[in-house]
Amino acid sequence: MATAHVRSVKSLYKRSLRMLESWYDHRFQYRYQAVLMRDRFDKNRNIKDPRQIDTILNEGEQELFNKQHPQPRRFANSPGGVAFEREVVPPDWVVDFWHPLEKAQYPEYFARREQRKAEYLAMWDKKYGKGTDEHHH
């Protein structure tokens, strides 16, 4: 079986199992259906003819489309999930505006941060040259 067909079969199998998860709430019902699904895939495992493989794959894709769940189960943090992109990660420059008393609680971190900022500016100047005084910090 060609590499493209192997990937297609694996993708179809995984999406089929995810579809079963959406339909069957109880673990034992899902496992039973998953075993039946695996048996269906295993029956076509030794087919070598690329045209026959394409036909079976297309039929499988069509069946998956026809049996899709109206509200498929999604992982919370994945695209389409309820928590997708909800946690806003603040940009790095935010800590530059911390109050000195807040910075004093983490002296090693801020000492290393200032050192790394100086190293970065030195690297920038070496690579791109010094900027004008109004833009250079």
The domain tally of the chain equals: 2
62 and 97 assigned to the same domain: no
User: What range defines the domain where residue 32 resides?
Assistant: 3-66
Of 127, 130, 100, residue with least CA distance to 114: 100
Would you put residue 107 in left (φ > 0), alpha (ψ -120 to 50) or beta? alpha
CA dist 72 and 4 (Å) reads 26
- pTM beyond cutoff 0.75: no
Joined together, the tokens standing for residue 40 give: 């269906």
- Other CB atoms within a 10 A radius of the CB of residue 20 amount to 19
pLDDT > 60? residue 61: yes
pLDDT band at 129 (very low <50, low <70, confident <90, very high): confident
Radius of gyration of the chain (CA): 28
pLDDT > 90? residue 33: yes
Of 111, 2, 22, residue with least CA distance to 70: 22
Say if 37 falls within a structural domain.
yes
Say if 55 falls within a structural domain.
yes
